[in-house]
Copies of this chain bind each other. A is one copy, B any other.
Amino acid sequence: MPKDVIKIGLLGCGQVGSGTVAALQANAGAITQAVGARLEICRICVRNLAKPRPPEVDRSLLTVNPDEVLNDPEIDLVAELIGGVEPARRFILQALDNGKHIVTANKELIAKAGHELLVVAGERRLDFSFEGSVAGGIPIIRSLKVSLAANRIEQIIGIVNGTTNYILTRMAADGLAFAPALAEAQARGYAEADPSDDVDGRDAAYKLAILASIGFQSRVDLDSVYCEGIRRISDRDIRYARELGYVIKLLAIAKQVDGALELRVHPAMLPVSHPLAAVSDVFNAIFVRGNAVGDAMFYGRGAGSLPTGSSVVADLMETARNIRFGATGRISCTCFENRPPLSMEEVQTKYYVRMTTADRPGVLAATAGVFGDHGVSIESMVQKAGAGTEAEIVWITHGTHEGDMRQALAKIERLPVVREIGNWIRVEE
């Protein structure tokens, strides 16, 4: 006789935790019908009992003792919504040890310790799901693991950080510089007081490591993800990009190139016709190219209490169904391959280079000569209006190895006619 109540313990009741409680309550009837059992949250572990909670949270369920969740034999399923690696990792291992299925929305934990936890869960035929860990409400994990499983994934390109996308959108729309756009994002609650995890790309790198490990079925070490943030993007670059038919986005890019994995997070120019180019404000989207499906894209809210709660509850429902049918552990770790990472020097892409030079004959020839010496071929060059005796030149290269490009730029920077390399930005097609 299958269970008609599935008992859930929550670890953490912040943003995502209370969104999970709220989504479960708002749609309780339909959820029970779809699962064939009622999902009941019977214990919630928090750090601070006194902290105010939204009205949906039943305060009588709160405890500060994690063992009341982790060791309660009544609890079938633990949702870890604390964030960070420890103590989340230790709690999950204890829960798995006690035979509990796991749902988590913890990107840092999955990026750093996902493989270890998935292997333990797989050995015990316990479900372990983490849809909420990447791109909030967008169901990209299940889409990659199940719906696109018939594909060899060739590339994944994501806008997976809402904070930076909001900042770049504001810079593009109103010509703001980075600092005031960041201040606006902070005022609206889209960026934290210390915004560095978002702005420097680390948050996106966690998500890329997760997406790539699933899409390419290969364990991805976070250290092999190149990571560069958006601090050096100026309003001028954004304006020039637009004139050239591009937008600038913080992209999380994973490609499979001859069996190796290219893994990089950095700002990049994207043609305005690319499906990701129209993704603005705090929205996220993940573009996937597979050898059967072709191009596909998944768009939605990448963060927030209810959107992420929507993904957590979907995982809880799927796990509950599996518990009822005795079918847990059907999909465990999918890292069957061991694909080496490609170093950034070997990555091939196009580049935008903006430089200030002396305004006199011979400058172009000298610069173009250095590019040529390093095998960097030029797609276009535009001379912008300079100030006084200076000229501003914008180059777009053809596809070039990053190693060659860096060498060329180092040499160009030392040319007597070159005042400054204002910026250089990778260009995706």
Contacts and interface: CB of A to CB of B under 8 A. Distances in A.
Interface in A1-39: 19, 22-24, 26-27, 30-31, 33-34
B19 A292 contact: yes
A156 to B, nearest CB: 14
A114 interface: no
A314 B148 contact: yes
A131 B147 contact: yes
**Count of this chain's copies in the oligomeric assembly:** 2
Contacts of A139: 143, 146-148
A240 interface: no
Interface stretch (A92-100, A195-203, A298-306): A298-306
A148 B322 CA distance: 17
A318 interface: yes
A304 to B, nearest CB: 8
A391 to B, nearest CB: 36
Q: Which of A22, A147, A300, A317 has the most CB of B within 10 A?
A: A147
A407 interface: no
A327 interface: yes
A68 to B, nearest CB: 25
Contact of A294 (B152, B301, B321): B301
Interface residues of A, number: 60
Nearest to A297: B299
A291 B327 contact: no
B296 A300 contact: yes
A142 interface: yes
Contacts of A285: 297
Interface string A162-174: 0000000000000
B314 A322 contact: no
Given A27-B152, A293-B306, A299-B299, 14 more contacts: A22-B292, A23-B150, A27-B291, A30-B217, A131-B147, A137-B292, A149-B313, A150-B316, A151-B310, A275-B278, A283-B295, A297-B300, A322-B330, A326-B327
22 contacts: A23-B150, A23-B292, A27-B291, A30-B149, A142-B142, A146-B318, A148-B310, A149-B314, A150-B310, A150-B313, A275-B278, A290-B310, A292-B313, A293-B300, A293-B307, A293-B311, A294-B301, A298-B299, A321-B331, A322-B330, A326-B327, A327-B330
Interface of A: 19, 22-24, 26-27, 30-31, 33-34, 131, 137-139, 142-143, 146-152, 217, 275, 278, 283, 285, 290-301, 304, 306-307, 309-311, 313-314, 316-318, 321-322, 325-327, 330-331, 334, 336
